[in-house]
Chains A and B, each alone.
Chain A
Amino acid sequence: MITTDEVCNVLKMTEEEKYDLLKTVITDYERKENNLIQILHMAQAIFGYLPVEVQYFIAGQMDLSVSKINSVLTFYSFFSTQPKGKYTVSICLGTACYVRGGKDVLNKLKSVLGIDVGFTTEDKVFSLSVMRCIGACGLAPAMTINKKVYKQVNPNKIPMILGMLK
């Protein structure tokens, strides 16, 4: 069985090697429909996201329709069909963050980055996503950039925070 560490070690791989690895993953999971979510997890780890070509590959390998694969992966917000940028900016829209102005932070992020939720800037630097409660209600509205948490975010400070990263 392939380990997560092995899958994570994909930065230096060619596209072909990535597909070979994914094929091994699918074989390890016995091509079972019940294991589709685990397979999608691994596939996203390998490719960084799940583009249409990868969906077709998985469908072919597992003898499922591509529509079925797409149905499962679009249900879970964890999966992305768009490539991820260097930084993933996530704003919490759980109840506490929402009432403390999370929506305003999100709108500011959208306008500054010029992208909608689930997308990545053209220069592949920032991706934008939304979370439902990260358990940091005391810090509301909370935002994370990759693994760092930003507390009580003021929408007006967004350009500055992002600018420091670039």
Chain B
Amino acid sequence: MINITINGKVFQVEEGTTIFEAAKQNNILIPHFCYMENVHQIGSCRICVVEVEGGKTLMASCVTPATEGMIVHTNSERVRDVRKVIFELMLSDHPKECLSCWRNQNCELQELGNLIQLNEFRYEGAKSKDVIDSSSPSIVRDSSKCILCRRCVTVCNEIQGVGLMNPHHRGFSTFIGPSEDELLGESVCTNCGQCVLVCPVGALKEKDSTVAVWEALYDKTKTVVVQTAPAVRAALGEVFLYEPGTLVTGKMAAALHQLGFNYVFDTNFAADLTIMEEGSEFLERVKDVLTNKDKKSVLPMITSCSPGWIKFMEHRYAGQLPHLSSCKSPHMMLGALTKSYFAEKMNIDPAKLFVVSVMPCTAKKFEITRPEMFKDGLADVDAVITTRELGRMIKDAGIDFRNLPEGEFDSPLGLSTGAADIFGTTGGVMEAALRTVYELVTGRELPGGTLHIQPLAGLNRIKTASIKIGNPLPEYSFLDGVTVKVAVTSGLRGAAELLDQIKNGTSPYHFIEIMGCPGGCISGGGQPRPVNDAIRTQRMKAIYREDEGKPVRKSHENSDVMLLYRDFLGMPLGHKSHELLHTIYTSRSKN
């Protein structure tokens, strides 16, 4: 422990603590801007400067370690003057178009402005280049609003390992993004949107799809169907100032009905369906590998629900694509079923159906544009809006969300089990799959009594578990005594680690779940801000609560899914399933 004096008070802090942390631990808040705890601490914005006695210059408190006997002033006249000038310089080339900016009232630069009250703009300098790159179906980059904090650089490089967002040139000409000759839409961008999630201003945003959705809602010739992903209900409440981790499933369904959607379906229904298809695919693969000498199948099999992860693999690990499950992601399955099964059942022309997916994800906006996701010229899903965009639409429509009654999803694509709920968090897809696979193989419930596989939950980068199969049903006798090894990761850095193992032939696993965003869909690129580990944990807990509150918690017990197989699909991996629910992947260039 060392002694540090901050604003006249002596505190004891651990060695290695930064001045910023030391102050925070003792309830002294230093105004800051680019700082993100445990993620981005490089002192790039300089807003958190403090005066250290004996030091020539002011120091950025987020990167300066506290030392024994240090005397710090966080609010001296000099600090406040300098802080103000730094802020003014930051604003000197900012467009200040707040009223027409999508981050209006939800902008960290505005928040700072609330703190450092300016009476006038003293510096109006040259403006930096404004390049608006809207080439990507998921993300729009507007360099004029960028204040060069480099948070997106940190997440794109350190956390996701994609390495696309970088500073280019220097001094006043600096811009952050792909290189000058690259467009986001034509680059290795995975569309994960983690950069959008951390951008403090309006420089990075999801590509808006609300206009298309409003148009469809106003079009009387269209039947507009909406579906919501598992993670949306655990975060949408935050837009309406609920505590993180508040479930708003009922209010969300009610709000969607009020917005004018004709049918409110649940992507969770298709998550249960995914388990049926993916679980069956897994068992087929295992059987082929264990019993067939001329085996064509490869293990480990990897989940395919996360389109950001899929694109990353197509660029970086194209040689390993046969490891990917051929299942479409759940919302694509639901879209395909809406335009076939549902259209047939209701006698609606599929061309008159407009399917909207509400997703925690920006990569889903890209996913619906993939050529494999069209059938007879019709898109499986017509528009994807993020949780944030849905929040904006609800506000725009004047719906008093907090006072809504609890609504419900519509039949026949609205019923889901607890297994589907946990698709929204890292480890969830694997747990849901094992609940069903284990029971299919042994005729018994997953051991332990809770249906949870604890080692697969939580925020660790790579999580593993093994389950020994004993006494299987006769048709699965080839699995007797086999220990099934599984791994789960979220965030593309972890994905790369597991894929390198597969590439080197050292992967010990049979089944791997990969989600592109750290923590899984609950902190996807389309979720409300801010996101940090505490909020991730809250949302995760909410997801498990939703699961545990369901009367049915295993996908193969979803009665509507069973009906769908009986009346329409036939059986898992059958002809119709292949046509509607499965897909192919494309090898893409590394750069």
Interface residues of A (CB under 8 A from B): 52, 55-56, 59-60, 63-71, 74-75
Contacts and interface: CB of A to CB of B under 8 A. Distances in A.
A71 B179 contact: yes
A56 B162 CA distance: 15
In which size bucket is the chain B interface?
20 to 34
A50 to B, nearest CB: 11
B538 interface: no
19 contacts: A55-B179, A56-B591, A59-B590, A59-B591, A65-B162, A65-B188, A66-B182, A67-B164, A67-B177, A68-B157, A68-B163, A68-B166, A69-B179, A70-B166, A70-B179, A71-B168, A71-B179, A74-B169, A75-B167
B170 interface: yes
Nearest to B177: A67
B interface, by DSSP: helix, strand, loop or mixed?
A: loop
Contacts of A68: 157, 163, 166
A70 B163 contact: no
Contacts of A65: 162-164, 166, 188, 591
A67 B179 contact: yes
Nearest to A81: B180
Contacts of A70: 166, 168, 179-180
Contact of B182 (A60, A63, A67, A75): A67
Contacts of A71: 166-168, 179
Contact of A66 (B157, B169, B591): B591
Nearest to A71: B166
Contacts of A64: 163
Nearest to B161: A65
Contacts of B169: 74-75
Residue of B162, B165, B166, B167 contacting most chain A CB atoms (<10 Å) = B166
Interface string B426-445: 00000000000000000000
Contacts of B164: 65, 67
A74 B170 contact: yes
Interface string B153-176: 000010000111111111000000
Given A59-B591, A60-B591, A67 B178 contact: yes
B396 interface: no
Nearest to B187: A67
B312 to A, nearest CB: 12
Interface string B250-294: 000000000000000000000000000000000000000000000
Contact of A52 (B162, B165, B181, B187): B181
Contacts of B165: 67
Contacts of A56: 591
Nearest to A70: B179
Contacts of A74: 168-170, 179-180
A63 B180 CA distance: 20
B150 to A, nearest CB: 11
A86 to B, nearest CB: 26
B591 A75 contact: no
B141 to A, nearest CB: 12
Contacts of A63: 590
A69 B180 CA distance: 12
Interface in B394-443: none
A70 B177 CA distance: 11
A15 B344 CA distance: 61
B162 to A, nearest CB: 7
A74 B188 CA distance: 20
- Counting chain B CB atoms within 10 Å of each CB, which of A59, A67, A68 scores highest? A67
